[in-house]
Structure 1
């Protein structure tokens, strides 16, 4: 059950992260990062690793985008 919750949180944050890849919308990644961290924590409590791994991938995409944009853009 926790794995499904983690995947749903990951999908919600993915909806935020995808448009944030457009220049000048990078601030959306700052909104998605806390949500992704919650998904990672819930996924870590689950027996299965798929939800946690999905959230980790989304987290990596958001962090790389923030690093490339200087943290703001």
Structure 2
């Protein structure tokens, strides 16, 4: 679960960076649910793995949360989220 959530978080961040390009801001509407699913996978990974193996799941959770927050802020600044 940790590796999956880490890869998912990296993809969400790359998608977030792509959505910063003008006229591609609509990508945030698809990136946010994608990152939420990744955060849920990471949360399951944190809950059900041993203490020593939680690093990747925690990193994936952090990456997905950053992508969600930046996507929501970007949508609210651009007027896409009221």
TM range (shorter): 0.7 to 0.9
1:5 matched to which residue of 2?
Answer: 4
2:79 matched to which residue of 1?
Answer: 70
Superposition map of 1:1-73 within 5 A: 2-47=1-46, 48=54, 49-71=58-80
Alignment gaps of 5+ in structure 2: 47-53
TM norm structure 2? 0.77
The number of equivalent residue pairs is: 71
Deviations 1:42-71 (A, max 9, x none): 000113222111110111111110110011
Alignment gaps of 5+ in structure 1: none
Shift of 1:10: 1.1
How large is the Cα RMSD of the aligned pairs? Answer: 1.4
Shift of 1:23: 2.7
Q: Could you say which structure has the larger radius of gyration?
A: 2
